[in-house]
Amino acid sequence: MNQLEAAIQLRVSGKLEEARSLLSELLVQEPLNPSVWYQCAWIHDVLGLEREAIPYYQKSLELGLKEEERKGALLGLGSTYRTLGMYDEARLIFEGAIKEYPDRREFQVFHAMVLYNQNAFSEAMSVLLKQLAETSKDEGIQDYSKAILFYSDKLDQIWD
């Protein structure tokens, strides 16, 4: 097991400060490794140090994270911005991620949270209702999925 894998195992097993310490050492040894930057961001988030996580997320993305790690970093950065009240920044991250990964529904859901925070309640509900109708395995939801989808962007409309 390499040092990065060891740091991840420490995080997973709840040894957060040990993981953070090892990742800090790794960052000095491998300053151009985007995965190390991403894991540094992640450990800061887990420790409740969201503001400190931001530059790590940004650098990991700048260095060219690949596939699943990139998706995770985009979600982490957008979510961190949102929890810090940086809604415009969060919205930009999620809108970009939705364009880049249109099949990844988690970005839609987190985007809806940002829309809610920006008082775009109808748009947020529309996004969530579409995700619910398209992904739920619940029989009742599936029975009415066409109606849910139809009304998802017409919540303020009154029918005469």
Residues 74-105 as b/e (b if ≥16 CB within 10 A, e otherwise) read bbbbbbbbbeeebbebbbebbeebbeebeeee
Residue 160 has pLDDT above 90, yes or no: no
pLDDT at 1: 67
**What Å distances lie between residue 109 and 6, 14, 19, 41, 134, CA to CA?**
32, 27, 30, 21, 13
Token reading at 59:
């650098």
For residue range 7-26, what is the model confidence (pLDDT) as tens digits? 999 999 999 999 999 999 99
DSSP3 helix / strand / coil % (the chain, rounded to 5): 75, 0, 25
Q: What is the pTM of this model?
A: 0.92
For residue 95, give the 3-state DSSP assignment: helix
Span 3-97 CATH architecture = Alpha Horseshoe (1.25)
For residue range 92-148, what is the model confidence (pLDDT) as tens digits? 999 999 999 999 999 999 999 999 999 999 999 999 999 999 999 999 999 999 999
Going from N- to C-terminal start, the domains of the chain cover 3-97
Torsion sign over Cα 116, 117, 120, 123: negative
